[in-house]
Amino acid sequence: MKLRRPVACAIFDLDGVLLDTEHFYTEVTQQICRDYGKTFDWSIKRNMIGRPSLESAQYLVDALSLPISPQEYLRRRTERLEELFPTAAEQAGAEAFTRALAGAAVPLAVATSSERELFELKTRKHRAWFSIFAAVVVGDDPRVESGKPAPDIFLVAAASLGIQPERCVVFEDAPVGLDAAKAAGMQVVALPDPAMERAPYARADLVIDRFADLTPADLGF
206-207, strands of its sheet edge to edge: 135-137, 108-111, 9-12, 168-172, 187-190, 206-207
Question: Quick one: CA torsion of 101, 102, 106, 111, rounded to 10 degrees?
Answer: 90
Q: Tell me, yes or no, if 205 is annotated catalytic.
A: no
Whether residue 149 has a cis bond before it, omega within 30° of 0: yes
Whether 51 and 59 have beta carbons less than 8 Å apart is answered as yes
Active site residue 13: yes
Catalytic residue among 13, 152, 173, 205: 13
**Number of C-beta neighbours around residue 48 at 10 A:** 21
Q: What's the longest Cα–Cα distance across the chain?
A: 52
Q: How far, in Å, CA of 85 to CA of 69, rounded?
A: 23
Count CB atoms within 10 A of the CB of residue 51: 21
**8 Å CB contact between 92 and 211:** yes
Pairwise CA distance, residues 209 & 6, whole Å: 22
Of 15, 152, 173, 205, which one is the catalytic site residue? 15
Q: Is the dihedral of CA 80, 81, 85, 89 positive or negative?
A: positive
Q: What is the DSSP string of 70-81?
A: HHHHHHHHHHHH
The residues annotated as belonging to the active site are: 13, 15
